[in-house]
Structure 1
């Protein structure tokens, strides 16, 4: 039998909000689009009207993207070099495009999850001034 998690009336599910952000959807309803372009967060969800312009993801998405991509690429380069010793031009042919593709693919996904995390924890402007459940991060 699965354990039921009980939330206080104003509490938000962090895992669900981050999962919705990972799918590039509104962390509140999961229906509206999170981005109006590649990395531009919409001001307001078109489905539920939730204000999303408060996010302050700043440098976190690029940092986590570089961390993940760096680990994947370095592990691949080392594995290929130790196993087959290919010429440097083959390394460049494989790893440079893969680095760019992985970085561009992961960046919006990671940014979406961080916006979902901020929304769920009522960080920055995602909580009203009269919200007793808000976490102060100032």
Structure 2
């Protein structure tokens, strides 16, 4: 609860998509392309809670896969180009879309994880013992 007293609420969507700290919205979240920093340089938030796992990759696969497969089917049914043209068109597009969306989605998942205080599940000990 101390965080709310010292830091105004930050929109997790804008902070996450821009790669900023989910607590203050100022410091950088990423160290490199997908690596997470240890601490926020602005407010000192420890990013050890951040564990997005495979969540961003799953969303990227679903979103990019849907877009690319829809485009491939449309082009194939409308124009019937040779397979080499499909490879030239869709492989670079897939790489660009996946690479461009993975980092913002990872930032968004970490910001939402911080906002909702999500953490690894724990079993409660039976207090009657």
Asked if the contact 1:13/1:120 (under 8 Å) is kept, the reply is no
Aligned-pair distance for 1:19? 2.3
Asked if the contact 1:24/1:34 (under 8 Å) is kept, the reply is yes
Question: What's the Cα RMSD here?
Answer: 2.0
**Unaligned ranges ≥5, structure 1:** 1-8, 126-136
Indicate the residue corresponding to 2:44 in structure 1: 49
Q: TM-score, normalised by structure 2?
A: 0.82
- Between Structure 1 and Structure 2, whose CA radius of gyration is higher? 2
Written as runs of structure 1 = structure 2, the 5 A alignment for 1:1-138 is 16-124=11-119, 137-138=121-122
Q: TM-score, normalised by structure 1?
A: 0.77
Structure having the larger proportion of residues in helix: 2
Displaced runs of 4 or more, over 4 A: none
- Tell me how far apart the structure 2 counterparts of residues 18 and 53 of structure 1 sit (CA, whole Å): 20
- Tell me how far apart the structure 2 counterparts of residues 28 and 78 of structure 1 sit (CA, whole Å): 43
- Tell me how far apart the structure 1 counterparts of residues 18 and 74 of structure 2 sit (CA, whole Å): 31
Aligned-pair distance for 1:78? 0.8
CA deviation string 1:15-65 (max 9, x = no partner): x11321111111111111110111111111101111112111111111111
- Tell me how far apart the structure 2 counterparts of residues 78 and 45 of structure 1 sit (CA, whole Å): 45
Aligned-pair distance for 1:13? 5.9
- Tell me how far apart the structure 2 counterparts of residues 18 and 72 of structure 1 sit (CA, whole Å): 22
